[in-house]
Structures are given as structure tokens and as C-alpha cells.
Amino acid sequence: MFKILEREQLTDNIFKMVVEAKRVAKSCLPGQFVIVRMDEEGERIPLTICDYDTEKGTITIVFQIVGAGTMKLAKLQAGDAFLDFVGPLGRPSELCEENLDSLKQKKILFVAGGVGTAPVYPQVKWLHQHGIDADVIVGAKSKDILIMEKEMEAVAANLYVTTDDGSYGRSGMVTTTIQDLVNEGKKYDLCIAIGPMIMMKFVCKLTKELELPTVVSLNPIMVDGTGMCGACRVLVGGEVKFACVDGPEFDGHLVDFDNAMKRQQQYKTAEGRAMLKEQEGDTHHGGCGNCN
């Protein structure tokens, strides 16, 4: 069992938990995720790793209530435990594999949208710990659902907070701030955008025009998290990829976001899954057992 050591409610429907998971914490790197299960009957829920402490053997997760599974999850308290806490899954951020000296020469811009702020944090923290500066834009619909501002401030070279309704920080969506920074003369070599699919789509549309290479982290529906079921199938540069094993990070300028968003909706119903099985043929996998 994996004990919840701390639980904090960040907003109306966003929660943070520190979980004892020594083996996961030991091998975890920024960019990876976990899949949790509360009990024998519980659904498998993929969750963003927001922080990890190798010494203490803990993983911090941040999640938003989006359905019955996460609603049940939010009811857990400190002292309760997960039956399964599988990870670290997915490939670590490519930044972790780059030469530190060449990374120091790069001007990096992170763009975090809503709950996507949680997976951005460990990447910026990792860079900061290795003496590498990065600018960060954090976007939220309004002030009351902005998360992790203080934590991000401590590790970002420059933090730009923007709210869609202008209730705090700059006004407008993250794309407005990217354009403003470029207009103000800021130059970047790499952008890393994590947030809702629609945000990543429009960030990539803009950064393509700005000729700014962009990495995105995709979180489509996942079931097994090991490349077997096919739930997380996405198209990248015209090729079939599975976000759980080939990603979650991809070249944003190659991702077919419209396909990913449409598939996400289709996958939610039995009829949609049956249709996907027909359309996708051999690359559908179907190991989830849900589409047969």
C-alpha cells in the first residue's frame, strides 16, 4: 500500500497529495507520470508527477476532479493509502538527457496552462537545480483557480502570470503573453507547453509562426500505461504513437491536435471505441478489452 502523507485542497476542484512511494521516487525524472488505483474495484487513473523527493521517498501528485474516479480520489485523506501506485511511467523530459553546458546557452520558455502547471514545475525546478534559467508563463482562467504561483516563483528566472479574465497578473490567454514577450524583444530557442489540448494546439500554431521549436506533453486517455491497450494513440508527423510509452512529450509542431481531441471524445463511449477499432485497424491495439 502507498500511504498519503499530506493532502491539500488547492482550489475548488484541484488537490495536491504527497504519497509515500520509495521506489517510484528513487527513479523518477521530470516529465514522467504515475497510474494509481485506490482499491480492487478502482479505475486506473494516470496522474501528473508534480514533485518528488528521492531522500524521503515521496511523490507529489496534483489532480483536478474531472469524473467519478478523480472525485473518489479527492475524498481520500492523509493516512489513507493507494492500492497501486505504478511508475514512473513515460519517457523523462529530453532536457534531462541534454548536455548541461549546451542547455545553459539556451533561452527556454515554459508555458503552463491551468492544471498543466503541475507537470511544468518539476522541469523548471530541475533546470534551476542545475543552474539553468528558464522563463515561465502560467495561465489560469481566473485568480481563484491559479495554482503553485509561489513554488514556481522560487525556481523560474522570470514568472509571467496571466488570467483569461484579467482578475490577476496580465490579462488574456497564454498565447497573448507569448506574443507580448516576443514583441518586447525576448528571444527564445525552445518552448515547452503543457496544459489543456486546446491550449497546446494554439500555442503551437503561434510558435510555428514565430519559428520557435516547441515541445508539448500530451495526456490523452490512458488505461494500462504500458503501450498495450492503445487508448493513448496519437498521430505525430503522420505516424501512430502511444503517449504512454513514446511520450508523453512530443514535437508540438508535428502533433495532430484535432485528431487527438476528436479521438479523446470518441473513446469515451462504447460506440465511439467500436468505430475507432474499425477505423484504426491494426494500429488500434484493443488490449483494453473495452472495444470488443
- The residues that touch ligand FES, with contacts defined as CB under 6 A, are 222-225, 227-232, 242, 244
Name the residue among 27, 217, 208 with its Cα closest to residue 121: 217
Beta strands in the chain (DSSP E): 2-9, 14-20, 33-37, 45-53, 58-64, 81-82, 84-89, 108-113, 134-140, 158-163, 170-171, 190-194, 214-217, 233-236, 239-242, 249-251
Asked whether the CA dihedral 260, 266, 267, 273 is positive or negative, the reply is negative
For ligand NAD, the binding residue among 78, 100, 154, 198 (CB under 6 A) is 198
280 is in the binding site of which of ligand FES, ligand NAD, none (Cβ under 5 to 8 A by kind)?
A: none
232 is in the binding site of which of ligand NAD, ligand FES, none (Cβ under 5 to 8 A by kind)?
A: ligand FES
For residue 244, the minimal CB distance to ligand FES (Å) is 3
225 is in the binding site of which of ligand NAD, ligand FES, none (Cβ under 5 to 8 A by kind)?
A: ligand FES
Secondary structure string (H, E, C) spanning 202-245: HHHHHHHHCCCCEEEECCCCCCCCCCCCCCCEEEECCEEEEHHH
For ligand NAD, the binding residue among 45, 89, 95, 174 (CB under 6 A) is 174
Residue window 117-136: x/- pattern of binding to ligand NAD, with contact defined by CB under 6 A: --x-----------------
> Is 48 a binder of ligand NAD (CB under 6 A)?
yes
Chain residues 57-116 in contact with ligand NAD, contact rule CB under 6 A: 113-116
Instruction: List residues binding ligand NAD (CB under 6 A).
Output: 48, 113-116, 119, 139-141, 164, 173-175, 194-196, 198-199, 202, 217-219
